[in-house]
Amino acid sequence: MTAEDSRLNQNRTGEVDWYKWGPYLSERQWGTVREDYSADGNAWNYFPHDHARSRAYRWGEDGLAGITDNHNLLCFALALWNGNDPILKERLFGLTNGEGNHGEDVKEYYFYLDSTPTHSYMKYLYKYPQAAFPYNDLVDTNRNRNRYEPEYELLDTGIFDDDRYFDVFVEYAKADSEDVLIKISIANRGPEAAPIHVLPTLWFRNTWSWANGGAKPFMTRIEGTGNSVVQAHISDTLLDQYIKDYFFYCDGVAPLLFVENETNNERLFGTTNDSPYVKDGINSYIVQGKKEAVNPHHGGTKVSPHYELTIASGETKVIRLRLTKYTPEQMGDPFGIGFEQTFATRLKEADEFYNTVIPPAIQADADRANVMRQALAGMMWTKQYFYYDLDQWLRERGITPWTPVDERRHIRNSDWFHMLNDDIVSMPDKWEYPWYAAWDLAFHVVPISLIDPDFAKHQLMLMLREDYLHPNGQIPAYEWNFGDVNPPVHAWATWEIYVRDRERNSGKGDVEFLKYAFSKLLINFTWWVNRKDEGGNNIFQGGFLGLDNIGVFDRSSPLPTGGYLDQADGTSWMVFFSQRMFQIAIELALHDSLYEDFAVKFFEHTMWIAGAMDRIGNNHDELWDEEDGFFYDVLHFPDGHSTRLKVRSLVGLLSLMAVSVFPKEAFDKLPHFKEAAQKFIMQHPELTHNIHLPNQYGVRDRLMLSILNENKLRRVLRYLLDESEFLSDYGIRSLSRHHLENPYIFHYQGQEYKVGYVPGDSTSGMFGGNSNWRGPIWMPVNLLLLRALLLLYSYYGNDFTVEYPTGSGQQKNLFEITRCISERIVDIFLKDESGRRPVYGTAEKFQTDPYWRDLILFYEYFNGDTGAGIGASHQTGWTGCIARVIQVLGYLTPEALLNTITPGELARYRAQ
């Protein structure tokens, strides 16, 4: 057990709360729904970036490279000024959704270099230009570009020419759970000496200015210690249960600038300020020279020590700080020899921990190991404190549960009064997505479980908790619309986490976690069955389903044709959901016979839904197209006739993922289930004709339940593995490349609706420009497809081969194919023979500069032809799944997969 494992164990037992401090500070609180009290719901315009430095937030805080406690009461982050910028660099800048030609986008370069699960050691890098930051140029140029032109990036402005920038490294090391050491290292990469003002900032989140706000905390300077020291005191008895007094030690006698974390009403609204020392006072003092803007009496709720440095070319200067519960009398010298020793120890412990996570075969390849570790670091850095009391937020807008529906319909999330979120949540991206997205989160927990299975389980249970899950059973989608419909992936994630946890514990799984999740997922499954089966015939709709613009129409809106859409992806997702519930029920029934009836229930559900996707005979109103050998959406018109929308996309490919494989022993130990399943199959031959049933033995006498029988499987694989269709050099495309030359066109009442292959940034206005499922490669569905291929291999074994790639004449089994596709996906991030990473496309700085080329960005999705990164650039959570793909490549062999479905599983069944 490593030192980090010991800390995780202390957390688990409640002995020490190592999670108390972490990188939970958002990178963008402005422009969020929580802060939006506008009449029209335009969150971006109501609270723009220009207001952020001057206006106190209501529901959270943001900052640069920051940390906070797990209730976001006391915050620390970095502020910088190069002497040229019009404002302090206190937070990241980016475009709003209306400003970008491809949607909202952060326009900064920052990197999550390292983090342990308990945040005992963390490292972050921010690249700060020495010239004035080109705020207006970025906005104006992007706004004037059309959707067929590329985004205008910060590198394109020339701001980093001649390497005139600083590399600002921020490192954290915990001496104990409430003693955080901070080191800021600033390196001048430019050709000449350059000045920089460094203002590490500590402040209280404003909890006192709102209705029913508590007592105001305060900060004061402590004299006579040889360093600049601040005491931060919570005076509210309701809050001091979370944090009490903290002390902020600043190396040397740096001037301390105090203000209040309160709105500058005079600047923003032309009204009187409550205090002369407002939130942007430090900005006014440094940038505008207004000495009266900071409190000369050295008190307030926000403080920055002011370090004014000149750094020579190639030189690095270091600033040391410490945030701790220890008083000056208890602390002694805060920056003595123990300071650097703690950093060295924590980094060594981090290395030891990751050596147990990253397989030896991957460690031997430094580039792969670097990608995997940065991916996992990103997953740790993108945890965020999320506070949102919907009842309170709605009441502040004059909306109560008794407000007539017609009056509150225009208010976002107006039927989610029950929701009170006050937690640390895994975010897709703390700038572009500084709010949780439920189906993204289900993928996040897969890589997170490699290093912190307890946090992974906690995240899943959050989404199922009564203050998240709607009373009607719906899982909240995301802050912009909690009632939107995302794919039902949480049962799959639950099973994945359970199995990973069982592997670590010598075959003993967390059955109580599985029972809890199953009980809540049962409610959610019922919501789906009751709400999204339009015709009551086990064919599902769903609408948006997270795939944005993949279809002919906006699936979240009423169809222009009227009628409704039977969705191949919605129905496949429901088979997938039902199968996972079936699998969980089987597992629980082996521990508790009460669950055997649930196994019967979900077996029958799976059969009903899978069977409805392709009924006996060649029917023109069903999802399977026998002529093409593919699944399509079906459009039902109001007059009763219907037509297939023949777009070859993930909508049809997702049928592959709906597969489960079981050892024969599992069913043998459940005689009631076995008898009921056999009886159901005999009674309903109309459902069993076109799917693969769990009564046909495969390798090791395994049983499989799948939408695709062998004939269908081969036909769908032909498309999947065709390089002119779905198979890219970098994974599986979301839309077939066939549609580049052969776009699908649907005509209705003189209107043309067109779906064509677009490998990179979207050229469709549907769902905005940074949501494109019409060609790019998305990590989450690639992960599901890889998982499906491995499960199919565990059933069919080595004798089942197909042509790979299609048309090549070469036959491979499904394990070999899975490895080949996995390598293509990993190649997105790795250096090729010429030393270039496909993820960075034509960005020469990232490809060739020694200070850039080994820094990895984990984009939202990737160009279907070149592998270049697109969309949100900073560890969009589900792209962190690449860590899981790399790990599997490092240890999984065909023998291991054939011997056990998952390591230890078959042996455990036999032992029972």
Give the model confidence (pLDDT) of 413-456 as tens digits: 999 999 999 999 999 999 999 999 999 999 999 999 999 999 99
Q: Please determine, for residue 216, whether its predicted confidence score (pLDDT) is greater than 90.
A: yes
Q: Read off the pLDDT of residues 307-331 as tens digits, 9 standing for 90 and up.
A: 999 999 999 999 999 999 999 999 9
Q: Please determine, for residue 142, whether its predicted confidence score (pLDDT) is greater than 80.
A: yes
Torsion angle (degrees, nearest 10) of CA 888, 892, 894, 898: -100
What's the pLDDT at 903? 38
What's the pLDDT at 877? 87
Q: Please determine, for residue 905, whether its predicted confidence score (pLDDT) is greater than 60.
A: no
Structure token pair of residue 497: 């986490």
| Coil, strand or helix at 288 | coil
Q: Please determine, for residue 34, whether its predicted confidence score (pLDDT) is greater than 60.
A: yes
Phi-psi region of 702 (alpha: psi -120 to 50; beta: other; left: phi over 0): beta
Please check whether residue 384 is in contact with residue 434, taking contact to mean a CB–CB distance below 8 angstroms.
Answer: yes
Rounded to 5°, the CA angle 81-87-93 comes to 95
Q: Please determine, for residue 139, whether its predicted confidence score (pLDDT) is greater than 70.
A: yes
Q: Give the Cα separation of 330 and 323 in Å (integer).
A: 13
Q: Which of 289, 285, 290, 328 is nearest to 304 (CA)?
A: 285
Q: Read off the pLDDT of each residue in 790-815 and give the average, rounded to a whole number.
A: 97
What's the pLDDT at 904? 43
Give the distance, in angstroms, between the CA of residue 120 and the centroid of all CA atoms in the same chain. Answer: 22
Counting residues of the chain whose pLDDT is more than 90, the rounded percentage is 87
More reliable by pLDDT, 48 or 689? 48
Q: At what angle do helices 568-589 and 511-531 cross, to 10 degrees?
A: 150
Q: Give the Cα separation of 632 and 226 in Å (integer).
A: 72
Structure token pair of residue 182: 């901070």
- Mean pLDDT for all residues in the chain: 94
Q: Please determine, for residue 769, whether its predicted confidence score (pLDDT) is greater than 90.
A: no
Amino acid at 475: I
Q: Which of 653, 776, 644 is nearest to 717 (CA)?
A: 653
Q: Read off the pLDDT of residues 600-625 as tens digits, 9 standing for 90 and up.
A: 999 999 999 999 999 877 877 899 99
What's the pLDDT at 364? 96
Residues in Cβ contact with 276 at an 8 Å cutoff, skipping those fewer than 6 apart:
292, 293
Q: Read off the pLDDT of each residue in 489-496 and give the average, rounded to a whole number.
A: 97
Torsion angle (degrees, nearest 10) of CA 572, 578, 581, 583: -80
What's the pLDDT at 237? 76
What's the pLDDT at 912? 44
Q: Give the Cα separation of 353 and 546 in Å (integer).
A: 35
Please check whether residue 64 is in contact with residue 874, taking contact to mean a CB–CB distance below 8 angstroms.
Answer: no
The 3-class SS string of 217-237 reads CEEEEECCCCCEEEEEECCCC
- Scored b (16 or more CB within 10 A) or e, 468-490 reads bbbeebbbbbbbeebebbbbbbb
Q: Please determine, for residue 201, whether its predicted confidence score (pLDDT) is greater than 80.
A: yes
Q: Give the Cα separation of 371 and 821 in Å (integer).
A: 18
Amino acid at 313: S
User: In residues, how long is the chain?
Assistant: 912
Distances (CA, A) of 862 to 650, 680, 721, 867: 15, 44, 18, 5
Q: Read off the pLDDT of residues 714-768 as tens digits, 9 standing for 90 and up.
A: 999 999 999 999 999 999 999 999 999 999 999 999 999 999 999 999 888 887 6
More reliable by pLDDT, 896 or 334? 334
Q: Read off the pLDDT of each residue in 371-388 and give the average, rounded to a whole number.
A: 98
More reliable by pLDDT, 214 or 138? 138
> Facing residues of 252 across strands?
none
Q: Read off the pLDDT of residues 69-119 as tens digits, 9 standing for 90 and up.
A: 999 999 999 999 999 999 999 999 999 988 999 989 999 999 999 999 999
Q: Give the Cα separation of 386 and 441 in Å (integer).
A: 14
Amino acid at 145: R
Q: Please determine, for residue 906, whether its predicted confidence score (pLDDT) is greater than 60.
A: no
| Coil, strand or helix at 472 | coil
Q: Give the Cα separation of 647 and 634 in Å (integer).
A: 11
What's the pLDDT at 737? 98
Helices of type H across 648-743: 650-653, 664-668, 671-683, 685-688, 710-720, 738-741
Largest distance between two CA atoms of the chain: 89
Please check whether residue 526 is in contact with residue 486, taking contact to mean a CB–CB distance below 8 angstroms.
Answer: no
What's the pLDDT at 533? 82
Q: Read off the pLDDT of residues 813-827 as tens digits, 9 standing for 90 and up.
A: 999 999 999 999 999
Structure token pair of residue 94: 């980016």
What's the pLDDT at 758? 96
Q: Read off the pLDDT of residues 15-27 as tens digits, 9 standing for 90 and up.
A: 999 999 999 999 9
What's the pLDDT at 506? 81
Q: Which of 656, 636, 519 is nearest to 576 (CA)?
A: 656
What's the pLDDT at 909? 45
- Scored b (16 or more CB within 10 A) or e, 847-877 reads beeeebbbbbbbbbbbbbbbbbbbbbbbbbb
Give the distance, in angstroms, between the CA of residue 692 and the centroid of all CA atoms in the same chain. Answer: 34
Q: Give the Cα separation of 534 and 542 in Å (integer).
A: 10
Please check whether residue 633 is in contact with residue 568, taking contact to mean a CB–CB distance below 8 angstroms.
Answer: yes
What DSSP string runs through 160-181? TGGG-EEEEEEEEEEEETTEEE
Q: Give the Cα separation of 792 and 785 in Å (integer).
A: 10
Q: Give the Cα separation of 171 and 115 in Å (integer).
A: 10
Q: Read off the pLDDT of each residue in 767-781 and give the average, rounded to a whole number.
A: 87
Residues in Cβ contact with 105 at an 8 Å cutoff, skipping those fewer than 6 apart:
94, 95, 142, 151, 432, 770, 872, 873
Q: Please determine, for residue 900, whether its predicted confidence score (pLDDT) is greater than 70.
A: no
CB atoms under 10 Å from CB of 832, counted, come to 10
Q: Read off the pLDDT of residues 552-602 as tens digits, 9 standing for 90 and up.
A: 999 888 999 999 999 999 999 999 999 999 999 999 999 999 999 999 999
Counting residues of the chain whose pLDDT is more than 70, the rounded percentage is 98
Amino acid at 175: A
Can you tell me which residue has the tokens 């205090």? 275
- Scored b (16 or more CB within 10 A) or e, 159-192 reads bbeeebbbbbbbbbbbbebbbbbbbbbbbbbbee
Please check whether residue 642 is in contact with residue 634, taking contact to mean a CB–CB distance below 8 angstroms.
Answer: yes
Please check whether residue 460 is in contact with residue 567, taking contact to mean a CB–CB distance below 8 angstroms.
Answer: no
Question: Which pLDDT band holds residue 503 (cuts at 50, 70, 90)?
Answer: confident
Distances (CA, A) of 912 to 363, 379, 668, 702, 905: 37, 37, 11, 17, 11
Question: Which pLDDT band holds residue 486 (cuts at 50, 70, 90)?
Answer: very high
